[in-house]
Amino acid sequence: MAAVTAQSNFLASAAVFAGGLAVGIGGAVALSRAAFSPATKVQRSTRNKVKKAVSLPSEAEAQEQADDDDIPASEQLDDVDEKGAGPRPVDGSKGPVKPLIKSSVKKAAKSTSLVGGTDVPEPAAQNRAKHVDTRMDLTGPVPAHGDNVANDESLIKRPPVWLTGVPERNVLSTSTGVIDKVTYQSSTAVFVYESATNAGFGAWSEREAADAKRRGFVQGRPRVFSMQTRTGAGAAIAGYLSEKGTSSASTALSPYKNVVSALTNAQGFLAMAPAIGAIAPNDDGRLVLQVSGAAQVTDDATESLSVINDYAAILSATSTLASLNEDFTVVLSADREESTEVAAACYAPGAKGNVAHVFDGAFAGRQIARLETPAVVPANSIVDASPARTVTEALHAKGFTSFVYEGPKSPKTLIVVPNGSHFTAAKAVMLASQFDASKFGDSVGILAVRILRPWSNEEFAKQIPQSVEHIHVVDEVRSAPGAARVLFEDVQASLSGKQTPTVQALSFQAGQALSGAEWYGLLESAASTSQLNLETIIEGVQNKPSPSLTLTSKLASFFDSDSSATAQVANLASRTFRERATSGQCARLLSRFDNFEAGGVVRSDVIFAPAGDAQKVEAVPLPLAAQSQGTHTLVVGDPASILKAYNVFDSLAPGGTVIVNSPGWDGAEFGAKLRAEDRRLLAERNARIYLVDANAVVERLHDATAKALGGKQKVNNQLPKEAASGVLVAIFLRQHFNVGAPVIKGLLQRVLGTAPLGVGGVSGLVDEAERGTQLVAFAKADWAKAEPVSEVEVNAPSRPTAFRYNGFGPSVDAAAVGLEPAPVRSTWALPAWELMFREAYHLDDASLRPDLPEENWVLKVTENRRLTPVDYERNVFHLEFSTKGTNLKYEVGEALGIHGHNDAQEVRDFIAWSGYDADEIVSVPSLQDPSRYESRTVFQLLQQRLDIFGKPPKRFYEALSKLATNKDEAKWLRFISSAEGQSTFKKLAEVETVTYADVLRMFPSARLPLDHLMSEVEAIKPRHYSIASAQSFVGDVVHLLIVTVDWRTPSGSPRYGQCTRYLANLAVGDSVTVSLKPSVMKLPPHTTQPIIMSGLGTGAAPFRAYIQARAVQKREGKNVGPLIYIFGSRHKSKEYLYGEELEAYEADGLVKVLTAFSRDQKDKIYIQHRIEQNQQEILDLLMPSDKADEVQGMFTLCGPTDPLPDVQEALIKGYINKTGKTHEDGEAWLEELKEKEMAVYEVY
């Protein structure tokens, strides 16, 4: 009876879970049943239907049983999902002993309760926090709505919500996100151009539209089209407007039936300019372009990629538009607030005509700070029709004039710039405290062009003070020959006929952004001379510091690897104030990414200032403020990588503070890690340096949590690695704001109150972080005169001081080379849903590996036959698989990919050693569709998916070094992963051929949690073997010829080839997952062409297929060319592979067989010797007197790579003997055969 009740509880629990799933908004799947409550209650009718379908007892009967002796559902299933993030104990016990706490939930009256009235196990902190943040979406960690101001999000591992904050809020704290939202709310159709590669611009609209479509709420919402950027990109928009313009007349809606918007970047604007310029204004619809100036461009000189505001493309596109359509408005905005307000003004009721709004998308548009979304009138809302007016008039009505002036009332020199990042930089430098007004007087003013088209000569003339004698026009010019200087020509045309002032063009390169020192030099030169030379100005300020722009604010800079557990420290620090209106502080954050240095680096700069100075802080361009000596507090999250990639200390202000997340370093070791120039800089800046090992602090929190919960193994109460971010933020707040622990705890409680930080919560984290922080004492005099101490340091490449901003988000290189999205630990719930709703989860019963990205088939083994004697050292065997019932079709010469498994017993042994639970369920992303998750047990994961017995890369040692609790082991791991440890790493990898499992056993203190193991160990890759059959000959079968690979290392450890071992152990009837791979080994195009085949050992496989195919062609009555087969192995009696078949074919006249058994006689004979002995016959086939393609012979070789040079030399000797030409001529002849694919080698 109890068993029936348990089944009742399980299904009832699943039914309750369905209600929660229906409204789930999160992404994590690691939940504990004792921690969640359903978001909505399942209806009684649904529950009764479930019970009736499986003939369960009534509720009264179930309740009676529960009152007697029922076990709560949470306890029944806790063995599956209660675990935290680490392996089980290694003491042989079945699982961790769960300390019990008194549940605060009263015993439920019905069997649907998930928590009984008895004591229940405390859920893992990680599971509890994930539940709080994400509720019950079991599909996997899918990004929440509105997220992705980064690169392609499907390739990026996303940190937890408790760390990053609500994604929607973050996106709408950027002007790019707000413009995206304003556009969606104000349009009837939106064309989005490549949002994934355009800093996420347009992603909000795309997801909002997809969400509306999914929910069926499409009425009254705009249609969103995802487009590609290419030449003529605007043709689709023109066609859409033309088509929609034929609809019925407008009513009391907006005067226009269609407000069509496009979201693109500078290069997209340039590409679509010719098409959209042809769109004539009409009363049926209008076009609004929202253009992010941001673009990724390659510098022609350095061939390096950079993220810039491409005003050269903007000005060029404007020139194209003006030549086609004089009524097209182009407006430029600069700071965050201005860009959002201008974007909204473009949709003002009554505004007519087409408009392109360009904003700073590279810098201002990506900054995160509090930002209000302007009020807009939805495109389909009924409003009183306002009087028609131009876009320019609508902008003027909102207070946005055509030009913006900054400077003295009566300047002698005026610098004209496009409104945007150039203007904000120049204005900030002009207003900086270092700008000596007494020296420069009222000499220089700056005029920004906001409304570029239509250009107003009258408005421009009004803005020029009468005192101006010289005008310098900043134009960005494309590198194309004859590129127009658009702004200069406009200014010059406005002043035609006047004697003064003089006009000079200052031509910037596309995307060129001046530093603060360079702007200062330009302003200084403009105040003293009428003719400016930009190159001379830049050269003259190379060694001068930038002026301080921080005013009453304090700047903090954070450097980290973009995949580090602490990469979100800057975001968390800024959230502390951004999401707390009463803090008295404001914060503005800009994160920039270098995707090429050290595997991916992120620099985040945050300006903190009193809330009353928010307007002043908003005017400070963060990239300029973060330049030389502008950083008050510098935080280095991953010093092992960052200090090699960048000279980060150059940006430190005098008296500044440095906080380093040091992996077990003490002060002396940290000093030894620094270069001499680093030590000199730190001494010069009189820096205060603090070290904290954030990972070690988290480890101590693990211990404290385990102890508080009754002595559980700490690995079963693993805190997430991202908790290290909280440690660094606590230290940062202490040093940057000089506040005590109570204040820090109060600030962090707001943003980390629900985070899984152990039993001590935020308070415990802050206290432990402070105890783990050490101030580095160094001899300032010694560091000030430090010199390189090794030849390695002397010859080390110089590191840049300026950050190389080339990516919109974290590097996706790892994903691009095949690393899969991160798996997550799961519960019973996801597998239950997959079993109950198979169609919804796209489960494929016919596939053993539905997660594989390539097309695959499941075949049955029909034969596994050893070809060599049992007592022979080499096990060469013949395999046959049935393809019956599949659509598998293969060509001669193709390779069969075997998706093999690790040895089951070795996996069991590893699990027993590691302490993992073989039956624990994990959810791993499908390699075919990363948005879909597959359920596996830990045993299945280690046997079928993770290459745990493969060779680990260097980064694996580096990852373990951060987890090792033994200092000696940690140092060894850091050494092996460093450049200095290359020889040791090479010996381990190539001589001892150590595996992931070996390394874990070598360094037992580096206890790798299962979550980390799934991320750090690469997936098993398929092994490809040449097919040893022709399908036209054998039918619905595929043959393989395999030799097992095994050896002993110098230390005596046995090693086995993972896949050949798997294949050797297959039994008839076993199922195998396979795929196909094309090969260079193909039959020649004509059946009459001769083939010379050289096969070494199992290299015989493709030639067996060749001979079978030719046998079929001959049987069909076709003329077939001569075949010569040269086979080499050790002994005829033991390794004459398929010898009887070959002799039969030879007797039939199909093939001539030449054998080379190297060890059957005193003098070894190899295949090159047989080529030399038969060179005349072979060369006659390769060099026929008849030059027709039908008789041109082909030479092929398959097998180990060692004999290849000798084989080629034998062919060249035959060529020389036949032609009398030189060796060089022979090499050229052989190369010509290769180019014609008449000499084909497949060696390994």
**CATH number of the domain encompassing residue 333:** 3.40.50.970
What was the pLDDT predicted at 152?
43
What was the pLDDT predicted at 1198?
93
What was the pLDDT predicted at 300?
65
The rounded distance, in Å, linking the Cα atoms of 1235 and 1229 is 10
For the CA atoms of 912, 916, 922, 927, what is the dihedral angle to 10 degrees? -60
* Edge-to-edge strands, sheet with 824-825: 824-825, 921-925, 933-937
CA distances from 1235 to 1086, 1179, 1222, 1239 (A): 18, 18, 20, 8
CA distances from 468 to 445, 458, 464, 527, 530 (A): 9, 16, 7, 12, 11
**Cβ–Cβ under 8 Å, residues 1039 and 1029:** yes
b/e string for 911-949 if b means 16 or more Cβ within 10 A?
A: beebbbbbebbbbbbbbbebebbbbbbbbbbbbbbbbbb
**Cβ–Cβ under 8 Å, residues 446 and 430:** yes
Domain boundary among 773, 794, 815: 794
User: Please, which residues bridge with residue 558 across strands?
Assistant: 604, 635
Q: Is residue 541 one of the residues assigned to a domain? A: no
Query: Residues, the chain, total?
Result: 1244
**Cβ–Cβ under 8 Å, residues 992 and 952:** no
Domain boundary among 1007, 1024, 1041: 1024
**CATH number of the domain encompassing residue 444:** 3.40.50.920
Q: Is residue 963 one of the residues assigned to a domain? A: yes
DSSP string, 965-1029: -SHHHHHHHHHHHSGGGHHHHHIIIIIS---HHHHHHHSTTS---HHHHHHHSPBPPPEEEEB-S
Residue (of 256, 235, 234) closest to 245 by Cα position: 256
Q: Is residue 359 one of the residues assigned to a domain? A: yes
Omega into 454 within 30° of 0, i.e. cis?
yes
What was the pLDDT predicted at 291?
94
- Domain hosting 896: range is 824-1024
Task: Give the chain's end-to-end CA distance (angstroms, integer).
Answer: 63
Residue 787 shares a structural domain with residue 831: no
Residue type (1 letter), 88: R
Strand ranges in 847-973 using DSSP code E only, listed in sequence order: 857-866, 876-882, 895-898, 921-925, 933-937
Instruction: Name the DSSP class of 822.
Output: P
**CATH number of the domain encompassing residue 681:** 3.40.920.10
Burial class (CB within 10 angstroms; exposed 0-12, middle 13-18, buried 19+) of 9: buried
Residue 410 shares a structural domain with residue 390: no
What was the pLDDT predicted at 108?
32
The rounded distance, in Å, linking the Cα atoms of 973 and 1135 is 45
Q: Is residue 539 one of the residues assigned to a domain? A: no
Residue 282 shares a structural domain with residue 298: yes
| Radius of gyration (C-alpha) of the chain in whole angstroms | 36
The rounded distance, in Å, linking the Cα atoms of 539 and 518 is 9
Residue 867 shares a structural domain with residue 1012: yes
Residue type (1 letter), 1099: G
**Cβ–Cβ under 8 Å, residues 413 and 444:** yes
Helix axes 694-708, 723-737, angle to 10 degrees: 120
What is the number of structural domains in the chain?
6
Q: Is residue 511 one of the residues assigned to a domain? A: yes
**Residue ranges, the chain, pLDDT below 50:** 1-47, 49-155, 245-256, 382, 384, 433-434, 481-482, 712-717, 813-821
What was the pLDDT predicted at 667?
86
CA distances from 1104 to 362, 1033, 1034, 1081, 1174 (A): 60, 11, 12, 12, 21
The rounded distance, in Å, linking the Cα atoms of 249 and 477 is 44
Q: Is residue 547 one of the residues assigned to a domain? A: no
The rounded distance, in Å, linking the Cα atoms of 1043 and 1051 is 24
Q: Return the HEC string of 391-436.
A: HHHHHHHCCCCCEEEECCCCCCEEEEEECCHHHHHHHHHHHCCCCC
Residue 344 shares a structural domain with residue 292: yes
How many CB atoms are closer than 10 A to CB 1065?
A: 13
Residue 332 shares a structural domain with residue 426: no
Residue 316 shares a structural domain with residue 185: yes
Q: Is residue 1053 one of the residues assigned to a domain? A: no
Residue 914 shares a structural domain with residue 995: yes
Burial class (CB within 10 angstroms; exposed 0-12, middle 13-18, buried 19+) of 602: buried
Write down the residue that tokens 């060692």 correspond to. Answer: 1202
What was the pLDDT predicted at 438?
53
* Edge-to-edge strands, sheet with 1091-1096: 1152-1157, 1123-1129, 1091-1096, 1194-1199, 1239-1243
Residue type (1 letter), 1125: Y
What was the pLDDT predicted at 678?
93
Residue 623 shares a structural domain with residue 528: no
The rounded distance, in Å, linking the Cα atoms of 729 and 726 is 5
**Cβ–Cβ under 8 Å, residues 705 and 717:** yes
**CATH number of the domain encompassing residue 1227:** 3.40.50.80
Residue 407 shares a structural domain with residue 329: no
Q: Please give the structure tokens belonging to residue 1239.
A: 């000499």
The rounded distance, in Å, linking the Cα atoms of 415 and 524 is 12
The rounded distance, in Å, linking the Cα atoms of 240 and 253 is 20
Residue 453 shares a structural domain with residue 588: no
**CATH number of the domain encompassing residue 942:** 1.20.990.10
The rounded distance, in Å, linking the Cα atoms of 547 and 519 is 10
The rounded distance, in Å, linking the Cα atoms of 629 and 191 is 43
What contacts 1185, CB < 8 A, 6 or more positions away?
Answer: none
**Cβ–Cβ under 8 Å, residues 1045 and 1124:** no
pTM exceeding the 0.85 threshold for the entire prediction: no
Domain boundary among 378, 397, 416: 397
Residue 523 shares a structural domain with residue 562: no
Q: Is residue 1070 one of the residues assigned to a domain? A: no
